[in-house]
A and B are shown apart, each in its own frame.
Chain A
Amino acid sequence: MKKTVFIGALTVAGLAAGAAAAGTMDDVKTRGKLNCGVTTGLVGFAAPDASGEWKGFDVAVCRAVAAAVLGDPAAVEFVPTTGKTRFTALASGEVDLLARNTTWTFSRDVDLKFTFTGVNYYDGQGFMVPKELGVSSAKDLDGATVCIQTGTTTELNLADFFRANNISYEPVPIETNAEAQQQYLAGACDVYTTDASGLAATRATFENPADHVLLPEIISKEPLGPLVRHGDDEWADIVRWTLYALVAAEEMGISSANVEELSKGTNNPEINRILGTEGNLGEMFGLDAEWAKRAIMAGGNYGEVFATNIGENTPIGLARGLNAQWKDGGLQYAPPFR
């Protein structure tokens, strides 16, 4: 009896002594480095190049945020995460920001307690098969063996797609993209399925990319974007508006080439507000006036980041499609900087 009271008292004391956590931005500034969760290696989105430097479309988001907050696009500690470990890494505070082709879904946003800060790539799940199989539609895949990265929304979409079309399949769960590639190329599975952008990126690394085709069916909506923990809205705002700054920069015609010149002042007040020569947008969330300028200088505007990492002139060769600016019929649309 006495022991119970004693433990109870201890618990109460422990509860009362809980320290309040400081804001993520302060943590990042004290540390002098941004911990950014990325994939374990998906060429075009996030992968170390020959000299060990991380490059890619998602990496560019990390670098832009680091440039905006810390003033140095290189002040990023990249933490490779698998589809399975990414949410734990973010929830536990191991990473400040997760930019890892992560699909924005209701339950991840609400139930897993994350805040998605926008969409940097509108994607959908596709299928890749060897050309020699002669398959032209995903509905012909009855009885096929399908390689799939475990712990992703693609796993659930796949189950739903085959169920809805009343055809059978054999899932082969796989931990990373590299293992999936190995099994697919060895013929241990007939089909590899993941986001269409990921398929294109994977195919680009094959010896003979032309021997493999992407099937026309896109079976899901996969809005991929960076995400942060729930509850630190200031930090979420910084990540969100850094991304929008890149998108708005493309719309306004600000590029890494002319940003220096435009930041001397222009006749367009919105450009001036973004680049900090007018108003005090940066100050409002605790940064200096030139935050967006540095973010744009880190890797260029959204269009430049797209073109250098995954665009049509890269081996990955993705068209802008849904990811064009809203003015060009796409979905990339930044709210006004005002």
Chain B
Amino acid sequence: MTTITDQPKSQFRLSMLLYDTRYRSATIQVIAMLAFMLLAAWLISNTAQNLAALGKPIDFGFFGERSGYDINQRLLEYTSNDSHLRASFIGLLNTLVVAVLGCATATVIGIFVGVLRLSNNWLVAKVMTVYVEMFRNVPVLLWIVFTMAILIETLPSPSAFRGETPEASMNLFGSVAVTNRGIYVPEPLFSRGLGNIHLFGDSSLRFDVSLDLIAILVVLGASIWAAIAVRRRADRIQEATGTRPTTWYLTLGLIVIPTLILLVVLGFYLGLPELKGFNFSGGTHLRNSLIALWLALSLYTAAFIAEIVRAGILAISHGQTEAASALGLRSNRIMSLVILPQALRVIVPPLISQYLNLTKNSSLAIAVGYMDITGTLGGITLNQTGRELECILLLMLIYLIISLSISAVMNWYNESVKLKER
């Protein structure tokens, strides 16, 4: 007699959640997520409850109030009668200015140093090594404060330019004044200017766009477009006949002459800084807080970028260099035509995080009294209104948006330079 045993019917029991490998990982994940949500909910409710107990519920109404403080560096007009929102906007622009200037300068210095660190010249390579190690291994805050201290202590104050026999004099035919309050450079002015367009009416985000600047950019753009057309034509003639027509004077004329004519029409002249009262007036004032921050951030970040560039170049097989030199390319052309384009795809991804670092490090600006978004929204506004949580949350959001935008742009650039696989 045979007994037929049924296949044991798979029956779900609660213990299987823990002992059955099919369910175990899901169980653990669910528990972990519940615990995490519990923690987050506790933090949020705790904050809300404590704020309510303090009588300070979250409220962004303070943004419309009069700020009452002045900001020395402002790209747009701003007075102490404007709102906190306007002050934050001015601060945001200052952050963006130093971030853009810093990223550009750091990239140039970084590539330069990174390439030179691989130089066959012993002295040059060692000097670059010393630079990289010095800047990379000292906190950036110290570099910022140090740069500022040098600017303040070593440069002459405006009073040194005064008197019959001044101790200091202006440079470049009396057009640039280098003082310990910053550098005063000539500013472009137009006697027959076209005026400005006001954008956004009377709101806190209002700003003026100079029509003169737009006109110059349009003319310059058109000239460059024409110059490219001339080059394309030269290319075609070269392909057809084998000889390339001389075009440099055409290109030069196309770019320079229309712009010059426009400048004359607009009545362009330079506004020179001159000593008036306590300070220089006229000209553009590059404050030493901006210079110190810009310089320190660029030099610091450039040291990291130099290492990234060096790593990128070393990642390219030496055979490429040998092959290129076998084709008769000179060494600087090997670098710019063969090595760097290939190295870029190794360089760009870590470069993104250096740009993000520089932007975030710019929040140390208050150490030298540069009024960036941290100094305005996260500093004076926070202090005068006492809205810590609102200000800090908003500040975090703003930095997040800036950083994500930089990432997006750089990722797009990375897509365009990475190895195309077909």
A: residues with CB less than 8 A from B are 6-7, 10-11, 14-15, 18, 83-84, 87-88, 91, 107-108, 111-113, 132-133, 141-145, 150-151, 155-156, 158-160, 162-163, 169-175, 182-183, 186-190, 230-231
The B interface, classified by DSSP as helix, strand, loop or mixed, is helix
CB distance from B121 to the nearest CB of A (A): 39
Q: Contact at B388–A151, with CB atoms within 8 Å? A: no
The distance from the CB of A93 to the nearest CB of chain B, in whole angstroms, is: 10
A87-B386, A159-B80 in contact; A18/B46 too (CB < 8 A)? yes
Would you list which residues of chain B between 5 and 45 have a CB under 8 Å from chain A?
37-38, 41-42, 44-45
The 14 sampled A-B contact pairs (Cβ below 8 Å) are A11-B41, A14-B46, A83-B383, A133-B278, A150-B379, A156-B68, A156-B384, A159-B68, A160-B80, A183-B152, A186-B153, A186-B157, A187-B159, A230-B55
Is B77's CB within 8 Å of the partner chain A? no
Instruction: Decide if B41 touches A186 in the complex (CB within 8 Å).
Output: no
How near does chain A come to B29, taking the closest CB pair, in angstroms?
A: 15
Assess A159 versus B70: contact at CB under 8 Å? Given A113-B56, A170-B279, A174-B369. Answer: yes
What 1/0 flags go to B227-269 for Cβ under 8 Å of A? 0000000000000000000000000000000000000000000
B422 within 8 A of A: no
* Alpha-carbon separation in the docked complex, A175 to B369 (Å): 7
B72 at the interface (CB under 8 A from A): yes
Most buried by B among A132, A162, A172: A172
Measured CB to CB, the residues of B under 8 A from A are 37-38, 41-42, 44-46, 48-50, 53-56, 68-72, 79-81, 149, 152-153, 157-160, 180-181, 276-279, 281, 288-289, 366-367, 369, 371, 375, 379-380, 382-386, 388
Partner of A15, one of B45, B369, B388: B45
If the complex has contacts A143-B278, A144-B279, A150-B366, are A171 and B70 also in contact, measured as CB distance less than 8 A?
yes
Residues of A within 8 A of B181 (CB): 145, 170, 188-189
Nearest B residue to A163 via CB reads: B80
Closest chain B residue, CB of each to CB of A174: B369
Given contacts A11-B44, A15-B49, A186-B157, contact A156 B69 (CB under 8 A): yes
A115 to B38, CA, bound (A): 36
A167 to chain B, nearest CB (A): 10
Q: When A11-B45, A15-B49 are in contact, do A172 and B72 touch as well, CB less than 8 Å?
A: yes
Chain B residues with CB below 8 A from A83, complex form: 383
In the complex, the answer to whether B69 meets A155 with C-beta atoms within 8 Å is yes
A111 touches B386 (CB 8 A): yes
Evaluate contact between B72 and A173: CB separation under 8 angstroms: yes
In the complex the two chains form, is A142's CB within 8 Å of B277's CB? Answer: yes
Q: A172-B369, A182-B152, A186-B180 are in contact. Are A14 and B45 (CB under 8 A)?
A: yes
Contact status B383-A84, CB under 8 Å: yes
Q: Assess whether B180 is in contact with A188, with CB atoms less than 8 Å apart.
A: yes
Whether B72 and A187, one on each chain, are in contact in the complex, defined by CB atoms closer than 8 angstroms, is: no
**For B72, B152, B276, B369, which residue has the most chain A Cβ atoms within 10 angstroms?**
B369
Smallest CB separation, A293 vs chain B (Å): 35
Say yes or no: A151 contacts B46, CB within 8 Å. Answer: no
A173 touches B369 (CB 8 A): yes
Q: Is the CB of B276 within 8 A of A91?
A: no
Q: How far is the CA of A87 from the CA of B159 in the complex (A)?
A: 38
- The answer to whether A87 touches B383, judged by C-beta atoms less than 8 angstroms apart, is yes
Q: Tell me the complex Cα distance, A190–B159, Å.
A: 9
- The CA of A171 and the CA of B79, in the complex, are separated in Å by 12
* A88 near B288: Cβ-Cβ < 8 Å: no
Closest CB-CB distance, A28 to chain B, in whole Å?
A: 20
Task: Flag if B371 contacts A173 (CB, 8 Å).
Answer: yes
The 8 Å CB contact of B279, one of A10, A143, A174, A231, is A143
A82 to chain B, nearest CB (A): 10
Query: Do B278 and A144 touch (CB < 8 A)?
Result: yes
For A155, what are the chain B residues with a Cβ–Cβ distance below 8 Å?
A: 69, 380
Q: Is the CB of A145 within 8 A of B278?
A: yes
If the complex has contacts A143-B281, A150-B375, A156-B69, are A10 and B388 also in contact, measured as CB distance less than 8 A? Answer: no
Bound together, the chains give a CA A11 to CA B81 distance in angstroms of 41
Q: A10, B380: Cβ atoms under 8 Å?
A: no
| B contact residues around A15 at 8 Å (CB) | 45, 48-49
Chain B residues near A183 (CB, 8 Å)? 152
Kindly state the separation between the CA atoms of A190 and B56 in the bound complex, as whole angstroms. 40
- Measured between alpha carbons, how far is A241 from B80 in the docked complex, in Å? 39
Q: With contacts A143-B281, A188-B181 known, what are 14 further pairs, Cβ within 8 A?
A: A14-B44, A15-B49, A87-B383, A88-B388, A107-B386, A113-B55, A143-B277, A144-B279, A150-B380, A150-B383, A159-B68, A170-B279, A188-B288, A190-B278
The residues of B that contact A156 with a CB separation of less than 8 Å are: 68-69, 80, 384
Shortest CB-to-CB span from B76 to chain A, Å, is: 17
User: Is there an interface contact between A10 and B42, defined as CB atoms closer than 8 Å?
Assistant: yes
Contacts of A172 in B (CB 8 A): 72, 289, 369
Residue among B49, B55, B384 having the largest count of chain A Cβ atoms under 10 Å = B384
Q: How far is the CA of A33 from the CA of B279 in the complex (A)?
A: 50
Among residues of A, the one whose C-beta sits closest to the C-beta of B277 is A143
- Shortest 7 CB-CB contacts between residues of A and residues of B: A187-B157, A14-B45, A159-B80, A112-B386, A151-B383, A10-B41, A144-B278
Inter-chain contacts of A133 with B (CB < 8 A): 159, 278
